Amino acid sequence: MKTKQTLPAMIALAAIMAVAFSPMALAVDANGNIATTTDVAGVSADANISTSVAAERPVVTEVRPQVQFDGTTSGWAVIAGQAHEAKIAIDGKAIRNDNGVWKVKSNAEISAADHHATLELKGKAINGKIKLHGTGTLDSGESFRIILRGHYTPVFDEQGTFVMAFTAAKIHSTQNGINIPLIQSGLVNVEAVNPSTDDYEKFVDEFTVK
């Protein structure tokens, strides 16, 4: 009989000790119900814990210097040993890369003798030298590739105006392999895409003729 009474008493004692040494504290509400709250390092589990998340740093997009240009070169196309009038009208933009090279992309209209074509030119410009290339189809249906190499230099006392000369240029027929040499020169207008920047000044400052 004593053993039966001792066992419940030991269980009750263990429960009391567990409550006493537990981080759980007992609370009695107005209705006599027991509620538990956890107190860890003085912070209640029922407390609103706010966590501050560091604001993400804005992504900085590098804006590279950019200029736009348009102009026309005129001269000659040598076809079958004879010179025919030829013109190249260009209209495009140039963006400065980290290495100082200006990446050029332009629309172009080409006329040589009685042939015409519209195409896109790509290339680069640096230190007064320019190289462009592109492929297209003449209005006669003949496919060709054009390569334009030359120089450009600013006109004295005329801001934004450059002389451009393609001194090593040709049209190459991809069908019959015939090359048509081009002799071209003309004026090109250059200005910053965004007038509020100093992009044009950078274009001129980096310009040196070698």
Query: For 10-47, how does the pLDDT look when each residue is reduced to its tens digit (9 = 90+)?
Result: 555 555 555 455 554 445 555 555 555 555 455 455 54
Provide the CATH number for the domain around residue 151: 2.40.128
Distance of CA 94 to the CA centre of its chain: 13
Number of domains present in the structure of the chain: 2
- Contacts of residues 98-101 at CB distance under 8 Å and 24 or more positions apart, as own/partner, are 100/126, 100/206, 101/125, 101/126
pLDDT of 5 higher than 70: no
Contact between residue 209 and residue 151 where contact means Cβ atoms under 8 Å apart: yes
Contact between residue 37 and residue 44 where contact means Cβ atoms under 8 Å apart: yes
Same domain assignment for residues 82 and 36:
no
Same domain assignment for residues 23 and 101:
no
Residue 40 domain boundaries: 2-44
Query: For 30-39, how does the pLDDT look when each residue is reduced to its tens digit (9 = 90+)?
Result: 555 555 555 5
Same domain assignment for residues 163 and 95:
yes
Query: For 98-151, how does the pLDDT look when each residue is reduced to its tens digit (9 = 90+)?
Result: 888 999 999 999 999 888 999 999 999 998 999 999 999 999 899 999 999 999
Indicate whether 136 belongs to any domain.
yes
Same domain assignment for residues 26 and 75:
no
Indicate whether 86 belongs to any domain.
yes
Same domain assignment for residues 40 and 74:
no
Indicate whether 70 belongs to any domain.
yes
Mean pLDDT across 85-96: 96
State the SS3 of the chain: CHHHHHHHHHHHHHHHHHHHHCCEEEEECCCCCEEEEEEECCEECCCCCCCCCCCCCCCCCCCCCEEEEEEEEEEEEEECCEEEEEEEEEEEEEEECCCCCEEEEEEEEEEECCEEEEEEEEEEEECCEEEEEEEEECCCCCEEEEEEEEEEEECCCCCCEEEEEEEEEEEEECCCCCEEEEEEEEEEEEEECCCCCCHHHHHHHCCCCC
Same domain assignment for residues 91 and 162:
yes
Indicate whether 142 belongs to any domain.
yes
**Confidence (pLDDT) at 49:** 47
Query: For 149-183, how does the pLDDT look when each residue is reduced to its tens digit (9 = 90+)?
Result: 999 999 999 999 999 999 999 999 998 899 999 99
Same domain assignment for residues 187 and 112:
yes
Average pLDDT of the chain, as a whole number: 81
Same domain assignment for residues 78 and 142:
yes
Indicate whether 173 belongs to any domain.
yes
Q: Is the pTM of this model over 0.85?
A: no
Same domain assignment for residues 40 and 70:
no
Same domain assignment for residues 14 and 78:
no
With a CB cutoff of 8 Å and minimum separation 6, the contacts of 203 are: 65, 67, 94, 96, 102, 190
Indicate whether 58 belongs to any domain.
no
Same domain assignment for residues 40 and 71:
no
